[in-house]
Amino acid sequence: MFEHVKVPSDYSLGYVHRTKNVRISILKFKSTYPDAEKGTDPVEVYIFSPKRRKVGSVMILQGLGSRNVLYLLRMAYYLSKRKIEAVVPVLPGNFTRVAHGSVSGKDYFSSDLGKMTRFWEHALTDLLSLLELLKVKKMWHERNCLFGYCLGGMIAVLLNALSSDFKKTIIMMAGGDFATLFWRSPTLSFVRRELRSGKGEEHGMTNEENFYDVYRSDLERLKEFSSVQEMLSSNIHPLLKLDPLAYAKFVDTSRIVMLEAMFDKALPKSTRDILWEHLGKPKRIKVPSSHVSWLPFQVLAARYIMKLLKEQGAED
């Protein structure tokens, strides 16, 4: 599934803005994923670099759609002013990388599991290839953190199962159990319309109760697998192969912190709880906000990132 991860052979890195203490640049390279949808290539990455010696690195992963991106860019700028280099990749299918004829964020959840799988694979391939490039260019600091919001938090779980390069990871407003999300999340009402029209029948997803039964049975089977590749090679439901729950057992619990919105209506509480449990019950902090109302206060999340970086040891 991830055999196409490699250091990009060619890239461009140019400054788009400078302030007294920060350089903002855009890194671009051709995706190494071979099945990229039209409109999703090249990879685009915003990099906020302190002009003085940096004391850490953070990679910030966006949520579904485009509205959250500007808030996260402000968070990146805040961190860079405090000597932390902030890397903000644009995920394929989101923001400036929307597939031709689609809508920002829509393709990560679909009754068409082939298409949905391609977008998740594409995102992971791009992020792992980006990480390899940052390491080669000595742009990934020993003191580092991965921050993922919503979709980005789910992808962060998969990244941690596939890479040990993230010292700490903050998963914010994220959940697992895609069967429940498909049928119960208000955000995914468009998927339910597809299922009710008969799409997804080939994977048994159109009958809600039967779908739950199959999914619950396969969740129990996750205990059988000793590696990610073994899980991916199995005959469990193809949707589960994208679900953070399937990757959680391969993640170091001590590296994870979950930030959970107390008034989150976008993600059913059961989906947040089950992800926390499958991750081994890592540290969990409940935030008095809804799924999106924390965004204007992104500085508070930035300060928590700074705290986690400081705890990793003295500055170089």
Mean pLDDT of the 274-301 span: 96
Q: Is residue 16 one of the residues assigned to a domain?
A: yes
Q: Which domain holds residue 137?
A: 11-177+245-312
User: How many domains are contained in the chain?
Assistant: 1
* Closest to 17 measured CA to CA, from 68, 62, 94, 80: 80
Peptide bond into 42 cis (omega under 30): yes
List pLDDT tens digits, range 174-185.
999 999 999 999
How would residue 3 be classed by pLDDT, with cut points 50, 70 and 90?
confident
- Please state the φ and ψ torsions of residue 205, each to the nearest 5 degrees: -95, -10
Q: Is residue 287 one of the residues assigned to a domain?
A: yes
Mean pLDDT, the chain, rounded, equals: 95
The predicted structure's pLDDT at residue 313: 81
Tell me the β-bridge partners of 15.
Answer: 25
Q: Is residue 92 one of the residues assigned to a domain?
A: yes
Q: Is residue 281 one of the residues assigned to a domain?
A: yes
Q: Is residue 44 one of the residues assigned to a domain?
A: yes
Q: Is residue 66 one of the residues assigned to a domain?
A: yes
Q: Is residue 146 one of the residues assigned to a domain?
A: yes
Residue 55, domain CATH: 3.40.50.1820
Over pLDDT 90: what percentage of the chain?
94
Whether residue 227 is predicted with pLDDT greater than 70 in this model: the reply is: yes
Q: Is residue 196 one of the residues assigned to a domain?
A: no
Which sign does the torsion angle of CA 106, 109, 112, 117 carry?
Answer: positive
Whether residue 1 is predicted with pLDDT greater than 70 in this model: the reply is: no
